Amino acid sequence: MTDLFISVLNMSITASYVILVVLLVRFFLKGLPKKYSYLLWSVVGFRLVCPVSFKSIISLFSLKPFDMTGVQSGDTSSMDYIKSTPHQTADDVNIGLPNADSVIEEITSSYSYWANIDWVLLVLSSVWAIGIFSLVIYSAVKYIRLRKRLNTAVLLNDNVYQAEGISSPFIIGFFKPKIYIPYNVSDDFLQYVLQHEKYHIKRCDNVIKIIAYFLLILHWFNPLCYLAFYLMSKDMEMSCDEWVLSQNPSIKKKYSYALLSFASANRMPLANPLSFSENDVKSRIKNALRYKKPKRFMSLCAVVLSLAVLVSCSANPKQAVDKQDFRELSKNKSLSGVISASLTEQIMSSKSEEELNHVESHIVLGKQKGDINKNNSQNLTTYFIYAFIASYQEQGNNFVNSCGSLNVYGITVKKDGDKYICVDSWIPRDGNYYPKDIKKYLPQEAYLKYQNISDNDNYRLQNEAVKIAVESNNIDINKYISNEFDGLVNIAKANGDYSLCEENINLNSYCDYTLKYVYSKFLQGNQKGLYADMYLSVLIEMLGDEAIKANSNNPQEYFDDFYNHIKTIFEKNGEEFVKANYPKSYVLLKMTVLNESKE
Which pLDDT score, from 0 to 100, does residue 221 have? 93
Cα distances from 87 to residues 1, 11, 92, 115, 117, in angstroms, run 16, 22, 10, 8, 7
Categorize the per-residue pLDDT at 347 as very low, low, confident or very high, splitting at 50, 70 and 90.
Answer: low
Which pLDDT score, from 0 to 100, does residue 212 have? 93
Categorize the per-residue pLDDT at 560 as very low, low, confident or very high, splitting at 50, 70 and 90.
Answer: very high
Do 329 and 341 touch, CB atoms closer than 8 A? yes
Q: Is the pLDDT of residue 562 over 90?
A: yes
Do 566 and 589 touch, CB atoms closer than 8 A? yes
Which pLDDT score, from 0 to 100, does residue 19 have? 94
Do 312 and 50 touch, CB atoms closer than 8 A? no
How far apart are the C-alpha atoms of 310 and 304, rounded to whole Å?
10
Which pLDDT score, from 0 to 100, does residue 7 have? 86
Lowest-confidence segment of 226-240, 341-355, 438-452 by average pLDDT: 341-355
Domain boundaries, the chain: 2-313, 330-452, 477-598
Which pLDDT score, from 0 to 100, does residue 188 have? 73
Which pLDDT score, from 0 to 100, does residue 346 have? 54
Q: Is the pLDDT of residue 72 over 70?
A: no
Query: pLDDT for 264-280, tens place per residue?
Result: 434 434 345 455 445 56
Which pLDDT score, from 0 to 100, does residue 427 have? 86
Query: pLDDT for 138-147, tens place per residue?
Result: 989 988 888 8
CA 520 to chain centre: 52
* Mean local confidence (pLDDT), 448-459: 91
Q: What is the dihedral of CA 168, 171, 172, 173, to 10 degrees?
A: 170
Q: Identify the top-confidence range among 49-53, 161-165, 360-364, 393-397.
A: 360-364
- Express as a percent the part of the chain with pLDDT over 70: 80
Q: Is the pLDDT of residue 317 over 90?
A: no
Cis before residue 65, ω within 30 degrees of 0? yes
Query: pLDDT for 479-526, tens place per residue?
Result: 989 988 888 888 877 776 655 555 577 788 889 999 999 999 999 999
How far apart are the C-alpha atoms of 263 and 525, rounded to whole Å?
108
